[in-house]
Structure 1
Amino acid sequence: MLQVEWAQPSPESEQRLAVERLRSIVQQVSEVNGLMLHDRPICTGMILELKQEDNPMFSVQMRDRAGEIEPSIVSSWSPLQLQSLHNAIGSKMTALVNHGSPCDFCDIRAVVATSVNNAVARSCKVED
């Protein structure tokens, strides 16, 4: 699942524009891959799901963000911005604590494994 969060309070018109832009991008992906696009409202925003028959294949969740560790990153899909890696990990940890679904455990495990592997690679570097 890809999460889109409003980094700071933004006018409803800006949020609507961002949602329309994102929906357009996801619709293009669905058409290229033969998937169906479904909108699913949730209490804090909405989810765009790409499904094959009844099976969710990919989803984008849009919601308000309570806080951030780092500013968002400017993307080439204006007005959309990208969540920083640290914010994404923070959001995933919040989901892990609140819900503890299997995908949350797998995602955090991958982050830890990648971090450990990178640290080992740096410590084993041979000087020229």
Structure 2
Amino acid sequence: MEPVKPKHLNPFAAAFLERLQGQSQAEQFVLGGYFALKHYLDYRETGDVDAWWRSREDPHALAAAREAFMQTAAEFGYSVRERTWGETISLEAFDGGNKAFSFQVSVRTVEIDPPVASPWGRFPIETLDDNVASKMMALVARGAPRDFVDIKEIVDSGLLTIDRCWQLWNAKRPGIEIEDARLRVKMHLATIEARRPIERIPAAERPAAERLRAWYRDVFTARRDELGPGVGDVKDEDLRQ
């Protein structure tokens, strides 16, 4: 599936990428995260652009990104902060005290596909498979609400099946068994449910929340053979390390 530039983009993101896309240093950043997913499935907004280093951290590319970021922030009247934790560098634009946009770049661990050309000049972008594999890793590791929503949207859209999502997770060499991964997803879901019970969700949003939670409990984290004949074409043993 070829990536397509989303119709609805954060104005700062578009301005920043357009400023940097013609420079050779842009080749060192692989667009990833939900921003990359928007090029395959554009269904929600984001104020972040996540990226991976093409091979390793490149100080010249980082300097070019900083300059483009500062210039774009000046045009928007935003202030700029930079944070670093672990192997992640985050350039952040603030409108007063509110963060308006961030560009984060990290060192990639496991890449299952080489990146492909993007609609943004010299920037490469993750393939759909590589992007979803990373999203699956995040779902199992942290289980943020947006991870649950994104994977459900990917499956509902018909881009990938549940089996394919788990195959891609396994391709990242996660180091745990599929049964443990499913249990972790259920634990993350239980944490979300405890923190935000259905009765505290606005009435108009409750049916969708209930469907999402039931789908993860009863379908996404179920063994394939628990779903009955014809539902899923991958056996659990195929997903084990």
Same fold (TM over 0.5): yes
- For 1:105 and 1:55, the matched residues in 2 are separated by 26
Which letter maps to 1:17? Answer: H
Q: Taking structure 1 as reference, are residues 21 and 92 closer, same or farther at Cα in structure 2, changes over 3 Å only?
A: farther
Residue 6 in structure 1 maps to residue 53 in structure 2:
yes
Residue 90 in structure 1 maps to residue 133 in structure 2:
yes
Using structure 2 for the length normalisation, give the TM-score.
Answer: 0.39
Query: What is the 5 A alignment of 1:1-128?
Result: 1-8=48-55, 10=56, 15-74=58-117, 76-77=121-122, 80-115=123-158
Q: Paired residue for 2:202?
A: none
Tell me by how many angstroms 1:71 deviates.
0.8
Q: Please give the secondary structure, in 2, of the residue aligned with 1:38.
A: strand
- For 1:83 and 1:61, the matched residues in 2 are separated by 15
Q: After alignment, is 42-51 or 89-98 more displaced?
A: 89-98
Give the RMSD, CA atoms, in angstroms. 2.4
Query: Between Structure 1 and Structure 2, whose CA radius of gyration is higher?
Result: 2
Identity %: 29
Tell me by how many angstroms 1:5 deviates.
1.0
Question: Is the Cα–Cα contact under 8 Å of residues 37 and 49 in structure 1 kept in the other structure?
Answer: yes
Q: Please give the secondary structure, in 2, of the residue aligned with 1:67.
A: coil
1:11-38 Cα deviation digits (max 9, x unpaired): x5xx112212222332233223222221
* Greater relative contact order (CA < 8 Å, ≥ 6 in sequence): 1
Which letter maps to 2:115? Answer: S
Structure 2, unmatched stretches of 5+, are 1-47, 160-241
Tell me by how many angstroms 1:65 deviates.
0.6
Q: Please give the secondary structure, in 2, of the residue aligned with 1:86.
A: helix
Using structure 1 for the length normalisation, give the TM-score.
Answer: 0.67
Which letter maps to 1:96? Answer: L
Q: Paired residue for 1:123?
A: none
| Larger strand share, 1 or 2 | 1
Structure 1, unmatched stretches of 5+, are 117-128
| Larger helix share, 1 or 2 | 2
Q: After alignment, is 18-27 or 39-48 more displaced?
A: 18-27
